[in-house]
Amino acid sequence: MEKKQETIDRIIEYGIYAYIFFMFLAKGEGIRNMLIFGTFGLWLITLKYRRDLYILNNNVSRLCWIYVAAIVISAVFSMDPSFSLKELKDEPLKFVFLFPVIATVMSDEKRLVRTAYVSLAALLLIVFAGYYSYIFHDIPMLKPDTAWVHAWHTKFAAYVNTYLPLACILFFVWNKTGPKINLAASAIISVIALILSTSRGGYLAFFVILIVWLLYLSKKKGHNMKVAVAALMSILLIFGAASYMFSPRVRERISQTPEEIYTANARTDLWRAALYAFKERPLTGWGYGANIYMRDEPYRDTPYKKAPQTEKDQHNMFIKIMFHEGIVGIVPFVLLIMAAIRGFWKEAFSSTGVKSYMLIACASIFIGNYVVQAMLETLFKLQYIAVVLGLGMAARGINENRGT
């Protein structure tokens, strides 16, 4: 059975690579679903014989299941239980299927390195799709606008900030100078694309991710921090200044920043409406499912009386969870994010090699995307969180003493 399990695990492994590569593409939802449900089905076949289930026996994993249970509770006590229960088959179910599979099957250094390769390939695909659209579609901001890769500029920035830290693991794995130069060039091209996207939330998230990596490298032996900081700051200043000088859209967005900080870019009204509605049903919220936010009922006993007249959502992931899932949902979610960041950060310093780099990459993504940018946007789906969380848990599960 051990040989059969190895074969099945190899199939699952490549299924995970495929999912990570296709994760942010505009097309291929059917393929993604096949990969999620197919890999989970194969994983269940080997469940009885798996020796890596200990990875799922910790506080982070327990908080995952508590949060999923909170989502189910919010659906049961929803203002529209039928609608909310149907919505569970999308993001929550995909999270449940993805997280344990990635956390266990990918708990191997070679597999994590391959994940970094896949992330680099996916990063270059969406970045070059962005450049192609920016040059040939005559759009004012850089974002991918093709049949296969299509995203609004804020989402594009979030996608770059997800793939880039994972791809950067290769810089510490490769020994030859040539590949490192190519990777550095890819990173520079990606950062320029991020700047030209004009997503200020993306800028802030990237800056925080960069700080996390610099703090990590400053505390790890064998890294020349003065050279690294000088090089990074020079690159950012040069390309930031060039983008400001030659891109009218970048200048416009930056010049509007002081005014929009005061108004939070009209987000505060959306936040206020959602918080008033939250006060009406604070325990379990109004129910799982984005559509509920656009209905009038949650606002009838608030100063707003009706749903906000906008096609946008709450523009804040934490307020969104409070609105839909109440205290029952927001408490375990915040604890999950905090536990993941703390665990990944702490263990990154007590380990070495790929394990350490993957942990800090996942920690930086959580801090940049799921804390900082999450306060300004609701871009992130549960299955995206499952991937980053699963990779971090897979890295934590590597037993360095057995030489994996």
Give the total number of structural domains in the chain. 1
Per-residue model confidence (pLDDT) at position 388: 98
Residue 130 forms part of a structural domain: yes
- Residue 141 domain boundaries: 2-263+311-402
Taking the C-alpha atoms of residue 132 and residue 152, their distance in angstroms, rounded to an integer, is 15
For residue 90, CA distances in Å to 37, 94, 98, 289 come to 12, 6, 12, 10
Our CA angle for 347, 317, 297, nearest 5°, is 150
Per-residue model confidence (pLDDT) at position 233: 64
**Would you say 161 and 342 are in contact if contact means Cβ atoms under 8 Å apart?**
no
The enclosing H or E element of 328 equals helix 317-349
Per-residue model confidence (pLDDT) at position 237: 67
- Sequence letter at residue 310: T
For residue 255, CA distances in Å to 261, 268, 379 come to 11, 20, 25
Residue 287 forms part of a structural domain: no
Per-residue model confidence (pLDDT) at position 270: 86
Residue 289 forms part of a structural domain: no
Residue 106 forms part of a structural domain: yes
Residue 139 forms part of a structural domain: yes
Residue 283 forms part of a structural domain: no
Q: Which of 40, 9, 11 is nearest to 383 (CA)?
A: 40
Per-residue model confidence (pLDDT) at position 268: 81
The enclosing H or E element of 323 equals helix 317-349
- Nearest 5°: phi and psi at 59? -65, -40
**Per-residue model confidence as pLDDT tens for the chain (404 residues):** 678 888 999 999 999 999 999 999 988 899 999 999 999 999 999 998 898 899 999 999 999 999 999 999 999 999 999 999 999 999 999 999 999 999 999 999 999 999 999 999 999 999 999 999 988 887 888 899 998 898 888 899 999 999 999 999 999 999 899 999 999 899 989 998 998 888 888 989 999 999 899 889 888 765 555 666 666 666 666 656 655 555 565 555 555 555 554 445 567 888 889 999 999 999 999 999 988 989 999 999 999 889 887 766 778 999 999 999 999 999 999 999 999 999 999 999 999 999 999 999 999 999 999 999 999 888 779 999 999 999 999 999 997 434 43
User: 404: burial class by Cβ within 10 Å (0-12, 13-18, 19+)?
Assistant: middle
Q: What is the pTM of this model?
A: 0.90
CA gyration radius, the chain: 21
Residue 347 forms part of a structural domain: yes
Q: Identify any residues that bridge with 345 across adjacent strands, giving them in sequence order.
A: none
**Would you say 396 and 55 are in contact if contact means Cβ atoms under 8 Å apart?**
yes
Q: Which of 361, 357, 111, 364 is nearest to 220 (CA)?
A: 357
Taking the C-alpha atoms of residue 291 and residue 297, their distance in angstroms, rounded to an integer, is 12
Per-residue model confidence (pLDDT) at position 401: 37
Q: Which pair of structure tokens corresponds to residue 75?
A: 């659906």
Residue 270 forms part of a structural domain: no
